[in-house]
Amino acid sequence: MSLDLETVRAFVRVAELGSFTRAAAHLAVPKARVSQQVQRLESVVGARLLHRTTRAVRLTPDGDLFLARARPLLLETEDLGAMFAGPGALRGRVRIDLPVNLARDVVIPRLPELLAGHPKLELQVSTTDRLVDIVREGFDCVVRVAALRDSSLVAIRLGKLDMINCASAAYLRAHGKPRSLADLDRHLLVHYSSALGSELPEFEYHDGSGYQVRAMKSVITVNNADAFQAACRAGLGIIQVPRFGVAAGLAAGELVEILPKFRGQPLSVFLLHPHGRNVPKRVRVVLDWIESVLRPHLRA
């Protein structure tokens, strides 16, 4: 018995979605057929690839290894089918991960124009502030606002986001407006920490020769960009945040810039993908589109 692409595709969808039911719906086939395909695949390779319980489906160590090889195979096969297709015929799934604010304020509002030109594309959009494992979680491209760690990924530098210090108008009425770094001793900082408190709350600033940090007091720690801004608007403290994300609040007078001479270090924005030189056509289209949408909001 030999492998066939439909059987491999069924396994990959179950592994990605964590469910035979969701995989069957995605593939538009009966659940029983997907289950039979995965069982047949395990029989062919001679190893159990999935742990099944009544509540969850998860990969075995052998399943992890098989999935790592199966994904590129499917991508290459799908790309061969699209090689001579016109723009409107481009099809297939592209899985992307975006920071919450960039997704909400910039990318998602523009998605209709991408899909109007490529109506057969299927986009899976993850919005999170955590650093996803791009290869293990099966992402085709990721926008990352952070220092790079994984040298195995292809990185396209898009630019930088300028930072701003701000607080709500209500907070400043209650606590006064700081006019020097020394004044911060009497103020609160909304603390952003992906690990909820593993680092101390600090205010970052440039002292003329380099970036420094100043310890501050905080009464709230958050790990999400929306919660970060919500806490600021609620009057819980000062935030240091990319300017584009608070432009509307500043224009409305809800938020007020403070200490403009002591802004934090600009954040570098990268577009990452794991495909090396062999980028599937549908992924290349999405990469180029995301780059064109984000660059106007960044500085070099």
Q: Do 148 and 16 belong together in one domain?
A: no
Number of domains in the chain: 3
Distance of CA 212 to CAs 60, 262, 269, Å?
46, 10, 21
pTM of the model: 0.73
Residue 241 lies inside a defined structural domain of this protein? yes
pLDDT at 82 over 70: no
Residue 158 lies inside a defined structural domain of this protein? no
**For residue 100, what are the contacts with CB-CB under 8 A and spacing of at least 6?**
127, 128, 129, 224, 225, 226
Beta bridge partners of 142: 97, 272
- Let me know how many helices (H) and strands (E) the chain has, helices first: 10, 14
Task: Provide the CATH number for the domain around residue 5.
Answer: 1.10.10.10
Q: Do 92 and 79 belong together in one domain?
A: no
282 three-class SS:
helix
Q: What is the pLDDT of residue 274?
A: 85
Q: Do 49 and 78 belong together in one domain?
A: yes
Q: Do 171 and 259 belong together in one domain?
A: yes
Residue 62 lies inside a defined structural domain of this protein? yes
Taking every pair of C-alpha atoms in the chain, what is the biggest distance, in angstroms?
76
Q: Do 80 and 101 belong together in one domain?
A: no
Q: Do 193 and 256 belong together in one domain?
A: yes
- Give tens-digit pLDDT for 20-75: 988 888 788 899 999 999 999 999 999 999 998 877 888 999 999 998 888 878 77
Distance of CA 161 to CAs 49, 233, 263, 266, 280, Å?
43, 21, 12, 5, 29
- Give tens-digit pLDDT for 235-263: 999 999 999 889 889 999 999 999 999 99
Residue 130 lies inside a defined structural domain of this protein? yes
Distance CA 290, CA 151 (A): 21
**Other CB atoms within 10 A of residue 147 CB:** 8
Question: If residue 122 lies in a helix (H) or strand (E), which one and from where to where?
Answer: strand 121-127
Distance CA 11, CA 14 (A): 5
Residue 75 lies inside a defined structural domain of this protein? yes
Task: Provide the CATH number for the domain around residue 103.
Answer: 3.40.190.10
Q: Do 145 and 289 belong together in one domain?
A: yes
Domain that holds residue 299: 85-153+270-300
Q: Do 239 and 249 belong together in one domain?
A: yes
Amino acid at 17: L
